[in-house]
Amino acid sequence: MLRRFYVLFLLLLLTSCDDGDIINITLDFDKDLNRCDNFEDVYLIYDTRDDPNEALILTLPKPEFDYVFGELSEEDEDTLEIGTTTGIRFNYRTYSNTLPDGVLCNELTDPNLRLIEDYETNSGQVIIDVTIVDDDNDGIPSADEDINGNGNLEDDDTDNDGIPNYLDQDDDNDNVLTSEELDTENTDGDDNPITNPLDTDNDGMPDYLDDDDDGDGILTRLEDVDGDKNPRGIDDEVVDENGMGVFRYLYNHPTAMEAFPDSGFIDNSYIRSISTSFRLENIGLDIIDATVIDFGTFASPNQTITTSNDD
Per-residue model confidence as pLDDT tens digits over 178-210: 999 998 777 788 877 778 888 999 999 999 999
Residue 223 has pLDDT above 90, yes or no: yes
Residue 37 lies in a domain: yes
Residue 267 lies in a domain: no
Residue 264 lies in a domain: no
More confident residue, 6 or 238: 238
> pTM (2 decimals)?
0.77
Q: What single letter denotes the amino acid at residue 294?
A: D
pLDDT in tens, 35-72: 999 999 999 999 999 989 999 999 999 999 888 887 65
Residue 101 lies in a domain: yes
What is the model's pLDDT at position 19? 43
Average pLDDT over residues 271-299: 91
Residue 162 lies in a domain: no
Confidence tier at 113 by pLDDT (50, 70, 90): confident
Residue 285 has pLDDT above 90, yes or no: no
Residue 238 lies in a domain: no
Kindly report which listed range (44-48, 90-94, 104-108) carries the lowest average pLDDT score. 104-108
Cβ(82)–Cβ(123) under 8 Å? Answer: yes
What is the model's pLDDT at position 5? 41
What is the model's pLDDT at position 275? 92
What is the model's pLDDT at position 4? 46
Q: Residue 104 sits in which domain range? A: 27-133+283-307
Residue 126 lies in a domain: yes
Q: How many domains does the chain have?
A: 1
Residue 254 lies in a domain: no
What is the model's pLDDT at position 196? 83
